[in-house]
Amino acid sequence: MNVEEIKYGFADSEIMLLIFIFFISLGSITSYSGQENGFLVCFSSHLEHSNQTSKVLITRNSSDYSSLLRSSIRNARFLNTSTPKLPVFIVTPFHVSYVQSAVVCSKENDLQIRVRSGGHDYEGLSYVGEADVPFLMVDLFNLRSISVDIENESAWVESGSTLGELYYKIAEKSELYGFPAGSCSTVGVGGHISGGGFGTMLRKYGLAADNVIDAKMVDVNGKLLCRESMGEDLFWAIRGGGGASYGVILSWKLRLVPVPPAVTVFTVGHTLEQGASRLLQKWQTIGNELIEDLFIHAVLEVTEARCVRVSFLSLYLGEVQNLIPLMQESFPELGLMRENCSEMSWIQSVLYFAGFSIHDSLAVLLDRTTQFTGFSKAKSDYVKEPISEAGLAGLCKMLLEEATSYLILTPYGGKMSEISDTEIPFPHRIGNLYKIQYLVTWDVEDGTEQHIGWIRRLYEYMKPFVSKAPRAAYFNYRDLDLGRNNNGNTSFEQARIWGLKYFKKNFRRLVLVKTAVDPGNFFRNEQSIPVFPLK
């Protein structure tokens, strides 16, 4: 070796040149720590061509850093880029090899990894760190190819795709197939499925995670795995147990489900003064017992006139002529009329529940920008017994304290009661009448403490009326108030608090899988599955 090779510690002159060009393209690196510089050297050495660097790796010195970071932040609570716990680097892979390199080089240099698909993370854990450990974010938005196979009733979808893109691609091939996932078109497929994923067809077909056939992921060693090579335990864990605890999920093979040529939707709303309380009492007793083709959820909100309105929104997998007599028999109190209903294709119902006009072009589903730009905080509960009239009255009284508060009540039953609570990690099955999502939004940062304080008081008020031992919660409605920690290395006892709420008895098996496949707890965040503590 010559003097310069000894100085830089490289015997391979081509790699040295590559790294030199890499550093020149980044500008000064003096602001980075030793482990961060180590990652830069390691990651650049894995790139085949030096001109790929600026396309794949965005540093804090990059002019694109802020815009890219903000592009998929769906909650203004996490838009403050002066916060010290933002990613040191953003990796935007367009090939699996870059994900593998990011994992290997992060592990070698003791950097954490957080993975973002659509950014709809209620606590921002895919791109904001609370731990005193530098991390990089792998943003999967370039990995969003979708291959639909109608003949075999399946589709491969990359994790960076949105639900809107998935629905659009299915509709391109056939209007007689769909997929049972969420209503918000900008939600990323990766996180949605790995946490469970529900939508308007959950009573007919279960969750998105219930309909996964295969998956591809990069594990802690940088290996590319599929269902066969990862084994059934790990495959079980990533379908509802949070994929980010186990690796980087690159793509999912999904089972498409048949939908009829015509479906029917309706929205009927009443205020408390118009008898909404009585209707809600009845809905609590029949919402989970309706035929599985019929989904009716209830939304409680405060109107401009400062009263509580209860809206019943429905998807019926059939024609309106069959829905009317069904409703007259099961829920006559609602007084549903033919003029309240709209008959359409299933893909048009996707537009309807996403807040678009059913006459819009399906291309609106490809828009990855969200319409919501404010602040928000959410929580969740499960209800096993109807809430009393007095309990609902107290709830509505509290809602009137917050003009921009919402409650979304999602009925269970049907297919959700038929699937075992251990089939996948998602355990909230038979015995649940419905799930509640509590949500409050606001526009000014100064109101953050007040609004979060309110939703915490509401959550405390609801304690007597919801599930117990544990008081259950939905993993995709992530809530750091549950066994809160701030260090990313959660104690096992802290983790058990939220772990049992999200996963109940399945939490233990998730920990066993985690300990087996990632014993060093490399893939971790404030609410990742922990490893069993050392004796």
Residue 47 carries which side chain, given as an amino acid letter?
L
Q: Cα dist. 453→28, 131, 238, 458 in Å? A: 44, 24, 33, 9
Give the relative orientation of helices 34-46 and 13-26 as an angle to the nearest 10 degrees: 120
Q: Residue 181, exposed/middle/buried by CB under 10 A (0-12, 13-18, 19+)?
A: buried
Coil, helix or strand for 181?
coil
Instruction: Tokens for 78, please give them.
Output: 């996490």
What's the rounded Cα separation, in Å, for the pair 415 and 264? Answer: 20
How many helices (H) and strands (E) the chain has is answered by 19, 18
What's the rounded Cα separation, in Å, for the pair 420 and 441? Answer: 35
In the chain, the largest separation of any two C-alpha atoms, in whole Å, equals 89
Give the relative orientation of helices 96-108 and 34-46 as an angle to the nearest 10 degrees: 150
Task: Work out the end-to-end distance of the chain between its first and last CA atoms, rounded to an integer number of angstroms.
Answer: 48
| Cβ–Cβ under 8 Å, residues 216 and 226 | yes
Q: Where are the alpha helices (DSSP H) in 131-290?
A: 163-173, 189-194, 202-205, 227-230, 232-238, 276-286
Nearest to 85 by CA among 125, 124, 132: 132
Dump the DSSP string for 91-132: E--SSHHHHHHHHHHHHHTT-EEEEESS---TT-TTT---SS
Of 168, 205, 352, 477, which residue is the catalytic one?
A: 477
**Beta-carbon neighbour count of residue 142 at 10 Å?**
15
Give the pairing of strands 248-255 and 212-218.
antiparallel
Q: Residue 449, exposed/middle/buried by CB under 10 A (0-12, 13-18, 19+)?
A: exposed
Quick one: how far is CA 248 from the chain centroid?
Answer: 14
Nearest to 172 by CA among 357, 369, 317, 362: 362
What's the rounded Cα separation, in Å, for the pair 150 and 174? Answer: 7
Q: Residue 67, exposed/middle/buried by CB under 10 A (0-12, 13-18, 19+)?
A: exposed
* Residue 412 annotated in active site: no
Give the pairing of strands 257-258 and 248-255.
unpaired
Residue 18 carries which side chain, given as an amino acid letter?
L
| Contacts with 115 (C-beta within 8 Å, 6 or more apart), sequence order | 126, 137, 138, 140, 190, 243, 244, 248, 249
> Residues with catalytic annotation?
477
